[in-house]
Amino acid sequence: SQKIEQNSEALNIQEGKTATLTCNYTNYSPAYLQWYRQDPGRGPVFLLLIRENEKEKRKERLKVTFDTTLKQSLFHITASQPADSATYLCALVPNRDDKIIFGKGTRLHILP
């Protein structure tokens, strides 16, 4: 079956270090992949979108990579801060005309 997998266990990172979150997928060849941030009880907020022909995308302290051979996307936050603590959702779009499919998210805690 088609799946998107994100680490269900919370990730604890020391402030100032780089946090790396993983999104693995099976049985897809997605047109593009997105990352969202969600704070407790609030709606997800769009962060970055990376397309199948792009290897890497950056936005300020955020970096996303997309490896279609490994079927994996990595989401990096450099110089992490306690304010970065949240749940991060990976979402993929199988084909350009398909609906978006969300992973269940990974909780990130940045420890002061």
Partner 1 sequence: EAQVTQNPRYLITVTGKKLTVTCSQNMNHEYMSWYRQDPGLGLRQIYYSMNVEVTDKGDVPEGYKVSRKEKRNFPLILESPSPNQTSLYFCASSFSAQGNEKLFFGSGTQLSVL
Residue range at the interface with partner 1 (CB under 8 A); choices 19-27, 38-46, 57-65, 75-83: 38-46
- Is residue 104 a contact point for partner 1 (CB under 8 A)? yes
User: Residue 36 and residue 94: Cα distance in Å, rounded?
Assistant: 17
Residue range at the interface with partner 1 (CB under 8 A); choices 12-20, 67-75, 77-85, 89-97: 89-97
* Phi-psi map region of 31: left, alpha, beta (phi>0 left; psi -120 to 50 alpha): alpha
User: Residue 40 and residue 94: Cα distance in Å, rounded?
Assistant: 28
Q: Which amino acid is at 27?
A: N
Residues 19, 28, 34, 77: which binds partner 1 (CB under 8 A)?
34
Specify the residue for token string 């704070």.
Answer: 39
- Is residue 64 a contact point for partner 1 (CB under 8 A)? no
Residue 66 vs 80, nearer CB to partner 1: 66
Residue 28 vs 80, nearer CB to partner 1: 28
Please count the other Cβ atoms lying within 10 Å of the Cβ belonging to residue 73.
Answer: 26
User: Minimum distance between the CB of residue 4 and partner 1, rounded to whole angstroms?
Assistant: 9
